[in-house]
Structure 1
Amino acid sequence: MTKDKALHALMLTMGYGCVAIGLFHVLLGNSAIPGESSAGPTIDSLGRFFGAIFAGYGVAWIQAARRSPIRTTAVRRLAGILFLGGLGRILSLAVHGWPHWFQVALGIVELALPPLFLWLARTDSEQ
């Protein structure tokens, strides 16, 4: 598989995954958050709102993947947003301690995937 095909496949996987996760949070609210099903209505409202935003983020990945050629700038921006989310998890860990193990796993993915996206999106002139 070429780098371009791998990038396209990873971007679509990311996009559809984010849409699915976002809609899951919109529909299930607090029940979608591991260990937090008993959180109150304020957290439920916030979670459903951010679920919709995350679904929109997924749509942005899908749209970027459908461009030909794929725009490196779009990949960099979307990967940067994902990385920023991972940094937010580190900040939360520093301030409040260790979250549910699944949130830790998500943080690792959020910090590991952006460099892969950036590497796959590099043009020949940037190497």
Structure 2
Amino acid sequence: MSAALKWLSMAMGFACVAIGFLHIALGIDAVPDMGSSGVTADSQSRFFGAIFVGYGLAWIWAARQSPIPATAVRWLAGIFLLGAVARFISMAVYGWPHWFQLVLTALEVVLPPIYFWLADAEEKRAGAARLDDRVPAASRPHS
């Protein structure tokens, strides 16, 4: 479980950093169906690209900790899930977006529960390891 959480967190981090830099470099051209949305939309897209780079770096930071901090993973996954909520609000107000945005929404709904589950498992594993460190070897049950 720990290896899966580390791998998924690193993958999420690097993907977010890459996507963020893509948005910084391309602006609205990085988003399907944005067309000629104008200077304000381009500025906002590049700004949010920078924020996404920072979000990705937070995932990478969490993945490099030992043990991986479950609370940080839960917060980061919760923020990702909040992105899906924001997309659902947009769909309710404006209708269906470009099909690629629907794929992203699906990822934003499916991945957070996996991260929550893995974070819980990591927290339990780390807690058990700390307990084992406190109990002298002679008093541990034999298995």
Q: Which runs of 4+ in 1 moved over 4 A?
A: none
Q: CA deviation at 1:124?
A: 3.0
Matches within 5 A, 1:49-64: 49-64=47-62
- Distance in 1, matches of 2:70 and 2:35, equals 39
Instruction: Name the structure 2 match of 1:77.
Output: 75
Matches within 5 A, 1:8-87: 8-87=6-85
Give the number of equivalent residue pairs.
Answer: 124
The Cα RMSD (Å) is: 1.3
Instruction: Name the structure 2 match of 1:104.
Output: 102
Identity level (%): 55
- Distance in 2, matches of 1:4 and 1:53, equals 27
SS at match of 2:56: helix
- Distance in 1, matches of 2:71 and 2:114, equals 15
Unaligned runs of 5+ in 2: 128-143
The structure with the larger Rg is 2
- Distance in 1, matches of 2:90 and 2:21, equals 24
Unaligned runs of 5+ in 1: none
After TM superposition, the score normalised by the length of structure 2 is 0.84
- Distance in 1, matches of 2:35 and 2:55, equals 24
